[in-house]
Amino acid sequence: MKRYDLLTPEGTRDLLFDECLAKRNIQERLRKIFTAYGYSEVLTPGLEFFDVFNGKVHYFPQETMYKLVDGKNRLMVLRPDNTMPIARLAATRLRAEALPLKLYYNQSIFMVNPKNSGRDDEFTQSGIEIIGGEKTAADYEALSLAAQALFACDEDFRLEIGESGIFRTVVDDLNLPEEQAELIHSLIESKNYPALNEALSGVKGDAAEACRALPSLFGESEIFDVACKYMYSPELKEKLNYLHGIYEALCSMGYSGKIRVDLGLAHKKNYYTGILFRGYVEGYGQPVLSGGRYDTLLGDFGRNAAAVGFAVNVEAAAKVYLKRLEAPLMKPSDVLVYSERGCEISGLNHCRELIASGLTVFNSLCGTFDEAAAYAKDHGIHRIDVVGINSEVTVKEV
């Protein structure tokens, strides 16, 4: 019989030592930024009712959620997302709270990935949600914090912005049946130029022209000049101008060269309604940060409020951080304490004194001095304090 008791499920892992420290470091850096800007932490349950994620629009395909049933046979899921539970929270327990609400979270999400894909089924996200507030001001703040969060993960980052409204308007204006519109959506998302041209063959007009151009409209400030030609209505022009304004603002905040724009940014099914953004760092094949504006999601839970937010994939950021490290994060203890037989209490008292003086200690728990010395050598501890009868302490540098 297979010993499943010795394994962790595929897509999950034990994090050890430096891996933990790297993850905690990233979380701590992000927490500092979020709390400095007055965000309050919330924790939501790992288990939620299936219905929370299965509203009017199915943002999460049901086959990607871990499901179980509660004592009353109701369907539950391990949360696949942090934004929706926070929208639920903001629309229910926090409904009387004045806006803007600034919340941050730091907790895991779970998803079923295709097997053997090497992706994490459980990973931690650290992020913020701004609910309410004047939209432009909130967008600026969210993006400024996103840039700071990325900088905390890796100084050489790229923050990419887009507008889900531009894309949606253009596809709507094509007046295609839903199935075909969905196809075009996924082709733009995967920048599949040949298939997109084929899908649009025979479709004429400004919207079709814009649609053909969208996926290739990514880069830096020059994109705005090119894109301008394809914005055929005042509504689209306004959206592009808004994005341009944000781009310039971020550059003026000292991030010039790090900000990119992609007008083809489009997730297939999502709750985003306005600006979208993603963060990239060298050495990780997927975005480490993603977010955007979602003005209708809270309405699904019964509170009409606009919101914007983002999440950092902490595991991904920690992996990149570990890769860049030159020295291990784990530091050996300053002192190893070896107590002779019968002197264990004196040994512990000595530990306490050393700690009070600002040192870190490792109480050896060894039966013989030789074992203790061997442990110290293995673990790079350079001082051994031997505690004997009458609390006598002998210090040995090794």
Partner 1 sequence: MINKKIRIALTKGRLENKTVDLLDKIGYDVSELRDKGRRLILSIPGENIEVVLAKAADVITYVEHGVCDIGVVGKDTIMEHGGKFFEISDLGFGRCKFALAGKKGSNFYEGYGVKTVATKYPTVTRNYFENKGMDVDIVKIEGSVELAPLVGLADGIVDIVETGTTLKENGLEVWEDVAPISARLIVNTVSMKLKQERIAEIVKQIEENL
- In the complex with partner 1, which residue's Cβ is closer, 71 or 202? 202
282 makes contact with partner 1 (CB under 8 A): yes
| Options 9, 71, 177, 194; binder of partner 1; rule CB under 8 A | 194
Stretch that binds partner 1, among 140-148, 188-196, 244-252, 292-300 (CB under 8 A): 188-196
Find the shortest distance in angstroms from Cβ 212 to partner 1: 14
Stretch that binds partner 1, among 129-137, 279-287, 295-303, 333-341 (CB under 8 A): 279-287
Taking residue 169's Cβ as centre, other Cβ atoms within 10 Å add up to: 18
| Options 36, 195, 325, 365; binder of partner 1; rule CB under 8 A | 195
140 makes contact with partner 1 (CB under 8 A): no
β-sheet with 75-78: strand ranges across: 47-49, 75-78, 67-69
- In the complex with partner 1, which residue's Cβ is closer, 158 or 383? 158
- In the complex with partner 1, which residue's Cβ is closer, 79 or 260? 260
| Options 158, 168, 185, 324; binder of partner 1; rule CB under 8 A | 158
| Options 205, 219, 328, 367; binder of partner 1; rule CB under 8 A | 219
180 makes contact with partner 1 (CB under 8 A): no
Strand bridging mode 67-69 / 75-78: antiparallel
182 makes contact with partner 1 (CB under 8 A): no
Stretch that binds partner 1, among 18-26, 90-98, 144-152, 283-291 (CB under 8 A): 283-291
- In the complex with partner 1, which residue's Cβ is closer, 52 or 184? 184
Stretch that binds partner 1, among 53-61, 190-198, 294-302, 340-348 (CB under 8 A): 190-198
The dihedral region occupied by 358, where left means phi > 0, alpha psi between -120 and 50, and beta the remainder, is left
50 makes contact with partner 1 (CB under 8 A): no
177 makes contact with partner 1 (CB under 8 A): no
Quick one: CA dihedral 346, 352, 353, 359, positive or negative? Answer: positive
286 makes contact with partner 1 (CB under 8 A): yes
Find the shortest distance in angstroms from Cβ 304 to partner 1: 33
- In the complex with partner 1, which residue's Cβ is closer, 119 or 331? 119
First to last CA, the chain: 49
- Cα–Cα distances in Å, from 319 out to 274, 324, 396? 31, 9, 38
Write the burial class of residue 122 (CB in 10 Å: 0-12 exposed, 13-18 middle, 19+ buried): middle
191 makes contact with partner 1 (CB under 8 A): yes
> Binding to partner 1 (CB under 8 A): which residues in 290-329?
none
| Options 50, 232, 284, 375; binder of partner 1; rule CB under 8 A | 284
163 makes contact with partner 1 (CB under 8 A): no
Count of chain residues binding partner 1 (CB under 8 A): 22
Residues that bind partner 1 (CB under 8 A): 114, 117-118, 158, 160, 190-195, 218-219, 260, 262, 280, 282-287
